[in-house]
Amino acid sequence: MAEDTVYLGLRTMLASSTAFVALVPMDRVRPFGKLKQNETLPAVTLFRLSARRWPGYGRESGHADVQVQLDVYGTTERQTLDVAEQVRLALQNQSQGSIRGTFLNTERDWYEDQSESFRILQQWNIHHAE
């Protein structure tokens, strides 16, 4: 499944960044866009938005373009900005294993009133070999 391999690849890239792991332990990087209840911040969630398979001539090409949303949550604006920057540095224009390329499409930030936390949403295109 493309999404399993993509999640694993992105987690591996984040885990290999000492600057990222210094800010967010890997046990606070969550799949499926879900934080634990009363999650300790900062934390990051990953969520697959879509996966498009490229057709080949009479067969599958083996290439998928997966859109992934990463949400960075923090208790302060500065903390959230710092983590989001380390995510960008760890993932931008990377290739590893079956991931052929990672490209940041959009970034958006806002304040979550209910949880009184800051959040930065990043949408990534992940080019992936299946």
Write out pLDDT tens, residues 22-70. 999 999 999 988 999 899 999 999 998 887 776 666 666 677 888 999 9
For residues 111-120, give the mean pLDDT. Answer: 91
Looking at residue 3, what is its pLDDT? 52
The mean pLDDT of 4-29, rounded to a whole number, is 94
CB 28 within 8 A of CB 46: no
The per-residue pLDDT for 1 is: 44
* Closest among 56, 49, 30 to 126, alpha carbons compared: 49
Q: What is the CATH number of domain 2-129?
A: 3.30.2000.10
pTM score over 0.95: no
pLDDT of residue 53: 72
For residue 8, the 8-state DSSP code is: H
What residue spans define the domains of the chain? 2-129
Q: Is residue 74 pLDDT above 80, yes or no?
A: yes
Q: pLDDT of 90-112, one tens digit each? A: 999 888 888 889 999 999 999 98
Question: What is the pLDDT averaged over residues 72-84?
Answer: 97
Averaged pLDDT of the chain = 89
